Amino acid sequence: MTSDPLLALRPWESPEVTSWGRLPMNAVDRRAQALSLDGDWRFQLLPTPTAPVGEDWSSARVPGAWTLQDTTDLPWYTNVQMPWPDFPPASPAANPTGVYEREFDIPAEWAGRRIVLQIGAAESVLLVHVDGRPVGISKDSHLAAEFDLSDVVWPGASATVRLTVVKWSDATHIEDQDQWWHGGITRSVLLYATDPLYLADVTVRAPASGELRVDCRVRDAGGALPEGWYVTGEIDGQLLLQDAEFDRANAEDDRVSDFLGEPRLGAHVSDVRTWTAETPELYDLTVRLHRTDGTVADTAQHRVGFRDVEIVGRDLLVNGERIYVRGVNRHDFHPLTGRTVSQDDMRADLVLLKRFGFNAIRTAHYPNDPTLYDLADELGLYVVDEADIESHDHAHEIADDPRYLNAFVDRVSRMVLRDKNHPSIIIWSLGNESDYGANHDAAAGWLRRHDPTRPLQYEGAAKLGWADPAVASDIACPMYAPLEDCVAHALSGEQTKPLIQCEYSHAMGNSNGTLADHWAAIESTPGLQGGFIWEFWDHGILQCVNSGRPVGRVGAGLYDNGVAAPGMRWAYGGDFGETPHDGAFIADGIVFPDRTPKPVMYEHREIAAPVRLEAFRHEGLVVANHQCFRGLDWLAGTWELTLSDGRTLTAPAELPDLRPGETAAVPLPIELPADGGEAWLTLRVTTAGDEPWAPRGTEICTPQLLLRAAPDVSEAAVTGPRVKVDADGLLVHPLLTSAPVLSLWRAPTDNDELGGMAARWQDWGLDTLVRKAADVRRDGERSEMGVPPAGGWGRVTVLAEYAGNAGVIRHEQVFTPVQGGIRVEESVELPDAYADVARVGSVFETVSGLDLLEWYGQGPWESYPDRAAGAPVGHHSAPVDSLFTPYLRPQESGGRHGVRRFRLSAPDATGLSVVLDRPRQVSVTRFRAEDLAAATHHDQLTPRPGCVVHIDAAHRGLGTASCGPDTFPSYLLQPGTHHWAWTLRTL
């Protein structure tokens, strides 16, 4: 038996032990007055918790995961499955254990004070010793643990603290979130002191009425509270008053002579400025605890937001208004430091979300770093605060397991006790993907009693019945529910709760198709209020290709614009040699690991636009304010009239004075020219002044309306031998290195792979279509041996067959000489067996040197048929090398939807142009589809010197089938005959 009582408890295998010696959680923030113990600590990594500590120490950075520092224990990724096969509460015998040690000095002026050590987060079990004496134990990898050191340290002297962190434990079974497994101390370690008489907790109630209530909990380290102490407070200079009614009620109770140390303060704040995500108004609250002589013993500072949250019928209301929840799930993550994130990192996260129209965060799936909530209060984001409970692999067993009862209640209650005063938090969550059982009901019961001012949600309960009043979820919060089911529920007459999906669109790779369709339904269907995209981050860890190790903190600057530097790559599951693992499923965010926005961000920005153009009538335009609480005075605008002939006309925009939800008709700002063809009017909306999250001039949205459709234009054939084809019927052109041929396949996206489409396309042989000998005809007559005369032909028809595994596919190309070029008319007959192919179109390759793409169509961002709302029609240009989107696992990317024409040119302006018969899907990159499909990481790709050009008659939607519904039937490609045409010219 060990003589160490902490080791004797063996907390890594005892679910009944959630803590020992740990102080209660509270909402009094001590960070500003604390001494930091962050920095380099002595460190040893042991193979098991009971292995002896040796004499050889290395160094480890605190805060930081040891898995991203120079150790033998590397990051490990699983999603649902646990890294070991044993059932809960078992943990593996091979259990990496980090021992951190350092000295610290206790300030002499802390004599007579209460001294507290705070460890911000450690995963998964923390054991604390000071000068060899056991101090305490804590579990819960995402909340701080505090320990009173007053009896084990001496002011003016030094002490040695040892923090032992055990990686795997019984608690790991309820921390089975979809993220990397790490080990270490991942948030700051602090030391602070208080007077023996101290504020143990402060609870703020600040409704939109302005009737402020502040409940304080006062304690004394000596036990009984001294006579004559009192509390005072002020909010933005206004004094708070003691709640006399509360005092009398307690004074009449014989059991409490000093109100149990729970005084209450109150005030009425007149003309209150209410808090919302659009208008994050905050007040400064100061609470002071006084000794008998009036001196201040303790002080607590809070930023208060006055707001109400309630559910009325099936609507979630903030300050009495029905809101839309435009949310995203967010982990604490950084590609170099894992779960250790700085205040600057978190601010950058939230600023980016605000700029792209998001107004809500779900802290998936644990309480985030406390700084995040401060920033959400300040910048204006609604928060669903989620407890650190996920038992995905063993959900059914654990939900009703009494051994885990205390852990469930402990984790939920500690989250609420820490975060309750943040106005940004509008909903509590009991956790994620942990089935539903008595343990959840117990935690919900505590939560409802402690904080009746907010609703709670839990998807595991809600899925048992979206309208069931008996389950522990005030909100119907399904996960990836089909849109048609959501609409049907809202129209059924049976809906009793707001329907806000906790996850509804999965951002793995090239994804988030049908996002605009979802929001069109949400905004037009009472009872639907939005949801949260999964998720914010691609969790790629920067890895050195040669060593296979994470780069860690030294990797700053080794990535840019989503791309890792040469010799580096973004690692995902399996890249550190771990098994089992879940591959690239960790790369499912709307931003790359370096926070570079993916194209879907622009889609969301437009869907969430605060200003909309709703109609074009003869008398003018209809402009709408789609905000819930704010006018348009914080915005500025510029009108752009885009004509298909290449002109773009501009005019300043004076936005109408509209209250939330109002519309107004405004005159057409620019006279529509009689010529110019197709015409689009765009309102470029920017910030009129500096916002806390966006400097003046930041683009907010670009709503657009079609004013005039394109006329039908036909091109006449010209005489002269202008078309050259070879003996196989392939077009010969000086700027093409590969002739246009049929393309029915794309490098599978993650949705294609996990949704089963990629396997089906491979079974059909679409990735290896064999083109058979073609029938070549000139002006309708077969040519001899298919060999053209030296000068070429006039009109040429090529009939080719492609051998697929599900039947022969017939493809016709008609080449016609036109003024300055060649018109290509194509058709393909897809047999019924080929239902739902990836694309139908042509692919060809160009000579090198054509490095600039200019196009008229949707852009400038990547867009696809079911993800095109964020790409306005206009005249765009970009280097070819920038068109490809570097999703972590190489796949189909770089497409542009609705392209009418494009040109590829060299620096000397030579090149080629293509005019399309109608808006089509086009992609121009340096990679063939087979190049992308063969690579697992971008360091395996070699760009081709020329351009690979796809012109698609039709392209399959993206959907979100990697985890969630596939694209809608309207975005699927059907068998039958497909036609498309384009004209190729030399510049």
List the catalytic residues: 433, 503
- CA-to-CA dists, residue 860 to 147, 186, 603, angstroms: 55, 39, 12
Which residue, 916, 928, 886, is CA-closest to 823? 916
**DSSP percent split of the chain into helix, strand, coil, nearest 5:** 15, 40, 45
Which residue, 118, 148, 144, is CA-closest to 135? 148
Give every CB contact of residue 969 below 8 A, 6+ residues apart in sequence: none
DSSP, residue by residue, 797-850: EEEEEEEETTEEEEEEEEEEEETTEEEEEEEEEE-TT--S-SEEEEEEEE-TT-
Other residues' Cβ atoms within 10 Å of the Cβ of residue 310: 14
Distance CA 494, CA 679 (A): 46
Across-strand partners of 181? Answer: 76
Which residue, 132, 185, 149, 174, is CA-closest to 15? 174
- H/E stretch holding 518 reads helix 515-524
Distance CA 761, CA 628 (A): 46
Give every CB contact of residue 241 below 8 A, 6+ residues apart in sequence: 265, 266, 267
Helical residues (DSSP H) of 86-243, grouped into ranges: none
In this structure, the chain runs to a length of 987
Angle at 134 between CA 131 and CA 137, to 5 degrees: 130
User: Do the beta carbons of residue 331 and residue 537 sit within 8 Å?
Assistant: yes
Could you give the 3-state DSSP secondary structure of residue 703?
coil
Residue with tokens 């969790």: 539
Burial of residue 720, with CB atoms counted within 10 A of its CB: 0-12 exposed, 13-18 middle, 19 or more buried: exposed
User: Do the beta carbons of residue 899 and residue 915 sit within 8 Å?
Assistant: no
- The beta strand positions in 256-295, using DSSP E, are 264-268, 283-290
- H/E stretch holding 875 reads strand 873-879
| 777 phi/psi in degrees, rounded to 5 | -130, 140
Which residue, 797, 924, 803, 790, is CA-closest to 854? 924
